[in-house]
Amino acid sequence: MTAAGRVAVVTGGAAGIGRAIAERLAKDGFKVAILDVAEDAARQAADSIGGDVRGYRADVSDRRQVDAALAAARRDLGPLAAVVANAAIAPQRPFLEMTPDDWNRVLEINLTGTFHVVQSALPDLVEAGWGRVVLISSSSAQRGAPRMAHYAASKGGQIALTKALAVEFAKSGITVNTVAPSSIDTPSVEKKRAAGTIPSAEDMARFIPVGRTGRGEDIAAAVSYLTSDNASYVTGQTVSVNGGSFIG
Ligand SMILES: NC(=O)c1ccc[n+]([C@@H]2O[C@H](COP(=O)([O-])OP(=O)(O)OC[C@H]3O[C@@H](n4cnc5c(N)ncnc54)[C@H](O)[C@@H]3O)[C@@H](O)[C@H]2O)c1
C-alpha cells in the first residue's frame, strides 16, 4: 500500500465503474470521498466498502455543491491528494434531434463538472507538492459514437483538458491522465440493454479481441496504477482499457 493515509475523491462513486474505483483505492490505502448526486447510494456504497470511505452529495455541474462537498471531505478525512473525475451521463439521441438543452446538459455534467471538481480540489495537491488526477473519458472520444455526439464531444474535451493540465502542473508533482474505457458492464449499461438500445454482452464480446466485456475492476486497476507513486513519470496520457478494441 503506497497510498496510506492519502485522500482520494471519486465522483460518481455510488455505482458502476466509480464504485469499483472507490473500492480499489480504499484497498490501496486511500481514504476515499465518494461524491455523487445520488446521496443515499453514495453513503450506502461508502458503508459497504467500509474503512475510511465517506459518501457526500454533489451534482458535479453545480460549483457550490462541489465546493461544499469537498470542504466536508477535507474536514472529515484531511487534505485531498487524488481526484478521479468519473461522474457522467451518457444519453443517446440522433444528432438532428438533439436540442441545445440536450447538448448543454451533457457538457455541463461531463466536462464542466470535471472542471469544477478538479479546480476545486487542486489547491490541496499543489500545496502538498504531490497529486494525482485521473479523468474517466471514453472510447467514444477516440472513435466516435452514433447518437452520442454531445457525449463524444464532452469526453474528447476531457482528453484535451488532461493534456493541458498535465503540462501546467508537471513541475508541481501532480500527474494528470485519462482512462478511456469501452464496453464495461455496469447497472446503467444493463438498463440500456434491457431497453434494447445496445447489444447484449455476448454480442458485444464477439467484437472485442479478448472475448469478453469489461468490468469496473478493469478500470479500477488502471486508476490504481495511475494514482500510485509508481506512475510519477506518466502524465498527459490516455490509457485505453478496452479489451483490445479499436487499436490504432
Ligand atoms: N460503462 C461503460 O461501458 C463506459 C464506457 C466508456 C466510458 N464510461 C465512463 O465511465 C464513467 C462511469 O460510467 P458508468 O457506466 O459506471 O456510469 P453509471 O451511470 O453506472 O454511474 C454513474 C454515476 O455517476 C453519478 N452521476 C451522474 N450524474 C451525476 C452528477 N451530475 N453529479 C454527480 N454524480 C453524478 C450517478 O449517480 C452514478 O452513481 C463515466 O464517465 C462514463 O462516461 C463508461
- Summarised one tens digit per residue, pLDDT across range 36-85 is 999 999 999 999 999 999 999 999 999 999 999 999 999 999 999 999 99
* Catalytic residue set: 151
Q: Which is nearest to 45 in space by CA: 15, 6, 69? A: 15
CA of 171 to the centre of ligand 1 (A): 31
The count of structural domains within the chain is 1
**Residue at 173 is within a domain:** yes
Q: What is the DSSP letter of 200?
A: -
For the chain, the average pLDDT equals 97
Q: How long a stretch of residues is the chain?
A: 248
Mean pLDDT of 17-30: 98
CA distance 108 to 111: 6
Q: Ligand 1 test: best mutation among 66, 116, 184, 204, most atoms within 8 Å of CB?
A: 184
Between 248 and 246, the more confident residue is: 246
1-11 pLDDT, tens digit each: 568 899 999 99
Would 141 be classed as within a structural domain? yes
Q: Identify whether 191 is part of a domain.
A: no
Q: Is 248's pLDDT higher than 90?
A: no
Distance from residue 11's CA to the centre of ligand 1 (Å): 9
Index of the ligand 1 atom closest to the CA of residue 90: 43
pLDDT recorded at residue 247: 64
Q: Is the pLDDT of residue 220 over 60?
A: yes
Q: Whose CA is nearest to atom 19 of ligand 1?
A: 188
- Pocket of ligand 1 from Cβ distances under 6 Å: 11-12, 14-18, 36-38, 58-61, 86-90, 109, 113, 136, 138-139, 181-184, 186-189
State in Å: Cα 88 to ligand 1 middle.
4
Secondary structure (3-state) at 11: strand
Full strand arrangement of the beta sheet holding 131-136: 53-57, 31-36, 7-11, 80-85, 131-136, 174-181, 238-241
Determine which residue's CA is closest to atom 31 belonging to ligand 1: 59
Q: How does residue 246 score in pLDDT terms, banded at 50, 70 and 90? A: confident
Q: Cell numbers of 198, please?
A: 445496445
List pLDDT tens digits, range 92-138: 999 999 999 999 999 999 999 999 999 999 999 999 999 999 999 99
Q: Does residue 78 lie in a domain region?
A: yes
Q: Name the residue at shortest CA distance from atom 25 of ligand 1.
A: 12
Q: What is the dihedral of CA 112, 118, 121, 125, to 10 degrees?
A: -160
CATH classification at residue 115: 3.40.50.720
- 196 in a domain, yes or no? no
Q: Please check whether residue 60 lies inside any domain of the structure.
A: yes
Q: Is 195 inside a domain boundary?
A: no
Range of the domain at 178: 7-186+216-241
Q: Residues 125, 75: contact at Cβ < 8 Å?
A: no
Residue 248 within any structural domain of the chain: no
Residue nearest to atom 23 of ligand 1 (CA): 12
What is the C-alpha separation between 225 and 12, in angstroms, rounded? 20
Q: What is the pLDDT of residue 2?
A: 67
SS (H, E, C) 135-179: EECCCHHHHCCCCCHHHHHHHHHHHHHHHHHHHHCHHHCEEEEEE
Half-sphere exposure of 8 (CA within 13 A, CB side): 35
Question: Residue 201: is it exposed, middle or buried by C-beta count within 10 angstroms (0-12/13-18/19+)?
Answer: middle
Q: How far is the first Cα of the chain from the last one, in angstroms, to the nearest whole number?
A: 34
